[in-house]
Amino acid sequence: MSDRRVVTRRDFVRDTAGAAVGVSLVGLGWAEQAVRESRSADVILVRDQRVLSPSHDVDVSVLREMLGETVTRVTGKASPREAWRSLVKPEDTVGLVATPHLNPTHEEVIASVRAALVDAGVPAERIRLAQGGPDKAEACTALISLPGLKAHWLTGMGTVLKNYIMYSGHPSRYHDENNDRLGEIWLLPHVKGKTRLVLVDALRPLCDKGPQPDPRYLWDYKGLIAGTDPVAVEAVCLKIITAKREALRGEPWPLSPPPLCVQMADKRYGLGTCMMGEIMIKRVGWAEGTLV
């Protein structure tokens, strides 16, 4: 990727300072377009204090309530069944794309989504775990992205955008300095347009040193974060992680490296908005320590 300019700290500082007026790392063209299109996105944040026990075990009945609340808020439908039916059809082959290891998506979250899909009329045999190579995505007509919320030492964030890295078929090409390209994976022909819902498992996130878990940086947030705009969901996740880090240290403790992939997913790949001013966060449930 020698044709791309080197992004330095100076660019990032300039861009952060300029974000309020729409100046971006990749020039002013996007900013002008954004002003014209006046974008917006909803992100749903549902929390329930009862969902985890003191030993961090998941109460599945509470989780299912949270999940129902989440999908009805995302879709505006009256019931969870209607909500899921508006997201997927019975004839869809639905792939559940979870974080497989290193602070993985809770199995209870995956099982609850599966049960809800079956309840909505998707045959059980048409629901599959779809984390893995390109063939996993190719085999599906609809994807539900189910990443765990975590910081990542190589990319800043390792949640929504990074969740599809295996679909590239060449994950190492998106590691290291090339992580700003993660957004392009969402535009690959076998991936593009298939994601019906991004549902982040924020029951017990990891705010530093990810993906290898360090329990000092895990905390019981007891939340689900969802939307149909992956960049907006990631931006809200980033806000939560950043706020938690500052709360832990008692001083600014920005993610390092900065998660360039979030901004680039918006400005270079047009996957959604990372601008908090364009994101409407709808909060439901437990309010203490929401952080956003």
Partner 1 sequence: MSHTRQAPAGSPAPPEARAATLSLPETVDGWSRPTALRRIEAAGIFDYMDGAGELYVAYRFDHLDVTEYASPDQGEILVELYWMQTSDDAYGLLSGDWGGEPVALKEPVPAPGPRALYGAGLLRIWSDDLYARVLATRESDAARRAVLALGRAIVTGRRDPPPPRLATSLPQTAAELTLRPDSVCFLRSHLVLNSAYFVSQRDILSLGPSVEAVAARYGNARLVLVRYPHARAARLALEKFRTAYLPETRAGATGSAKIEDGWAGFGLSGRGLALAFEAPDRETAASLIAAAVQAIETLEASHE
**Which residue among 10, 20, 38, 288 contacts partner 1 (CB under 8 A)?**
10
- Under the binding rule (CB under 8 A), the answer on residue 183 touching partner 1 is no
- Under the binding rule (CB under 8 A), the answer on residue 203 touching partner 1 is no
- Under the binding rule (CB under 8 A), the answer on residue 176 touching partner 1 is yes
Structural contact between residues 259 and 210, judged by C-beta atoms closer than 8 angstroms: no
Q: Residue 77 — left, alpha, or beta (φ > 0 → left; ψ -120 to 50 → alpha)? A: beta
**Which residue among 180, 229, 234, 278 contacts partner 1 (CB under 8 A)?**
180
**Which residue among 22, 134, 169, 171 contacts partner 1 (CB under 8 A)?**
171
User: Smaller CB distance to partner 1: residue 68 or 158?
Assistant: 158
Which residues inside 25-64 make contact with partner 1, applying CB under 8 A?
55
- Under the binding rule (CB under 8 A), the answer on residue 79 touching partner 1 is no
Query: What minimum distance in Å lies between the beta carbon of 248 and partner 1?
Result: 9
Q: Parallel, antiparallel, or unpaired for β 148-152 and 156-157?
A: antiparallel
Structural contact between residues 46 and 284, judged by C-beta atoms closer than 8 angstroms: yes
**Which residue among 39, 175, 239, 282 contacts partner 1 (CB under 8 A)?**
175
* Count, residues near partner 1 per rule CB under 8 A: 37
Structural contact between residues 203 and 223, judged by C-beta atoms closer than 8 angstroms: yes
Q: What ranges make up the beta strands (E) of 62-147?
A: 94-98, 127-129, 142-146
d(C-alpha 11, C-alpha 264), whole Å? 13
Phi, psi of 252 (to 5 degrees): -55, 135
Residue with structure tokens 């590239």? 168
DSSP 243-292: HHHHHHHTS----SS--HHHHHHHHTT-SS---GGGEEEEEEE--TT---
**Which residue among 34, 102, 118, 284 contacts partner 1 (CB under 8 A)?**
102
Query: What minimum distance in Å lies between the beta carbon of 279 and partner 1?
Result: 24
User: Smaller CB distance to partner 1: residue 38 or 55?
Assistant: 55
Query: What minimum distance in Å lies between the beta carbon of 224 and partner 1?
Result: 23
Q: Hey, what are 19's tokens?
A: 């974000």
- Under the binding rule (CB under 8 A), the answer on residue 21 touching partner 1 is no
Number of residues written out for the chain: 292
Q: Which stretch binds partner 1 (CB under 8 A): 43-51, 147-155, 183-191, 281-289?
A: 147-155
- Under the binding rule (CB under 8 A), the answer on residue 253 touching partner 1 is no
The CB-based long-range contact list for 22-25 (8 Å cut-off, 24+ gap) reads 24/263, 24/267, 25/260, 25/263, 25/264, 25/267
Q: Hey, what are 88's tokens?
A: 């997927």
- Under the binding rule (CB under 8 A), the answer on residue 122 touching partner 1 is no
DSSP β-bridge partners for residue 150: 206
Non-local (6+) Cβ contacts of 107 within 8 A are none
- Under the binding rule (CB under 8 A), the answer on residue 177 touching partner 1 is yes
User: Smaller CB distance to partner 1: residue 33 or 256?
Assistant: 256
User: Smaller CB distance to partner 1: residue 174 or 186?
Assistant: 174
Site residues, partner 1 (CB under 8 A): 6-10, 12-14, 17, 55, 101-102, 152-154, 158, 162, 171-172, 175-177, 180, 208-216, 218, 256-258, 260
